[in-house]
C-alpha cells in the first residue's frame, strides 16, 4: 500500500517575526519528490502570511484614544458610534452617527430604541448651530463654536467631534468657560464623561473616510409646532 503523505503548516515566531514552515508527517520532504507540490505550498505560505499580517494591522489601526501624537483628521468622514447614557437611575443606549467635514460642518444624529430619533445637531462655520429634540418637540439655536448640549451645558463642538474620531481631549469646555464637575477618562476604545451622577460612554464602531452622502444632510428643518428653548 502506498504511504499517505500529510503536509501541514507550522507557525513560529523567531526574533519577533512570524514564520510559516511546511510540516511533513509520514514521509520526508525529499520523499515527496514533487516540485509542483512544493511550489503550491510556497504560494500558500505567502498568501497565509499576507492574510495574517493584514489582520494584525487592522487590529492595531483600529485602536482609538491612544496616548501620544494625534492623527490627522480626514477631509470628511461618516462615523458610527454607540452611546451609553446614565442619568441617576435611568440608563439608555443610543446609536449616534456623525457626518463631518472637520472645522467646517458637523451633523450629529442620535437615535434610541427602535431607531426613534432622539436628537439632531447641526453646526456650520460662519452660520451657527441648531439642535432639534423631536421627542420633546423643542429646538435650540446659537452662534459660534460653543454649542449647548443638554445635561452638560456649553460644549466646544470641535472637541466634541474629536471624540468621535477617537482623539483624546483634556476638556470639552468652550474657551473662557468651564463645565462644572465634568471629567473625562479613556479606557480601551471608549471615552467616558462624568458629571456628578450623570455619565456618558462613547464607543466607536466605524470611521468611514470614503463615505458619500446627499447635500440635504446639511439642512436641519424645524417643524412649525416645535417650541424654541432659549439658551442662557
Report residue 133 CA to chain centroid gap. 24
Q: How far apart are CA 215 and CA 154, in angstroms?
A: 28
User: How high is the pLDDT of residue 205?
Assistant: 93
The radius of gyration computed from the CA coordinates of the chain, to the nearest angstrom, equals: 26
User: How high is the pLDDT of residue 56?
Assistant: 38
Report residue 15 CA to chain centroid gap. 34
CB environment 101-129: b (16+ within 10 A), e (fewer): bbeebbbbbbbbeeeeebbbbbbeeeeeb
User: How high is the pLDDT of residue 22?
Assistant: 55
Instruction: Give me the residues of the chain with pLDDT under 70, please.
Output: 1-62, 69, 150-151, 178-180, 232
- How confident is the model over 106-161, as pLDDT tens digits? 999 999 888 889 999 999 999 999 999 999 999 999 999 999 876 677 899 999 99
User: How high is the pLDDT of residue 44?
Assistant: 54
Give the homologous superfamily in CATH for domain 77-228. Answer: Lipoprotein localisation LolA/LolB/LppX (2.50.20.10)
User: How high is the pLDDT of residue 70?
Assistant: 74
Cell numbers placing 115? 431607531
User: How high is the pLDDT of residue 87?
Assistant: 80
Cβ–Cβ < 8 Å for 94, 158: no
User: How high is the pLDDT of residue 231?
Assistant: 76
All structural domains of the chain with their residue ranges: 6-61, 77-228
User: How high is the pLDDT of residue 229?
Assistant: 92
Q: Quote the pTM value.
A: 0.71
Phi then psi for 5, rounded to 5 degrees?
-95, 140
Amino acid at each position: 500500500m502506498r504511504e499517505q503523505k500529510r503536509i501541514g503548516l507550522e507557525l513560529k515566531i523567531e526574533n519577533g517575526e512570524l514564520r510559516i514552515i511546511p510540516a511533513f508527517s509520514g514521509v520526508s520532504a525529499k520523499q515527496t519528490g514533487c516540485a509542483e507540490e512544493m511550489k503550491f505550498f510556497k504560494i500558500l505560505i505567502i498568501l497565509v502570511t499576507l492574510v495574517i499580517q493584514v489582520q494584525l494591522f487592522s487590529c492595531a489601526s483600529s485602536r482609538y484614544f491612544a496616548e501620544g501624537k494625534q492623527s490627522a483628521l480626514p477631509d470628511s468622514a461618516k462615523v458610527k458610534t454607540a452611546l451609553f447614557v446614565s442619568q441617576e437611575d435611568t440608563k439608555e443606549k443610543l446609536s449616534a452617527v456623525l457626518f463631518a467635514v472637520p472645522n467646517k460642518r458637523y451633523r450629529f444624529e442620535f437615535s434610541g430604541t427602535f431607531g426613534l430619533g432622539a436628537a439632531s445637531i447641526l453646526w456650520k462655520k460662519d452660520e451657527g448651530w441648531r439642535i432639534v429634540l423631536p421627542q420633546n418637540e423643542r429646538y435650540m439655536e446659537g452662534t459660534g463654536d460653543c454649542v449647548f448640549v443638554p445635561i452638560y451645558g456649553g460644549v466646544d463642538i470641535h472637541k466634541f467631534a474629536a471624540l468621535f474620531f477617537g482623539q483624546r481631549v483634556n476638556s470639552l469646555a468652550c474657551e473662557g468657560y468651564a463645565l462644572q464637575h465634568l471629567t473625562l477618562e479613556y479606557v480601551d476604545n471608549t471615552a467616558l464623561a462624568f458629571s456628578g451622577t450623570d455619565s456618558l460612554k462613547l464607543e466607536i464602531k466605524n470611521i468611514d473616510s470614503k463615505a458619500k452622502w446627499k447635500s440635504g444632510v446639511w439642512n436641519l428643518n424645524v417643524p412649525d409646532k416645535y417650541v424654541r428653548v432659549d439658551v442662557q
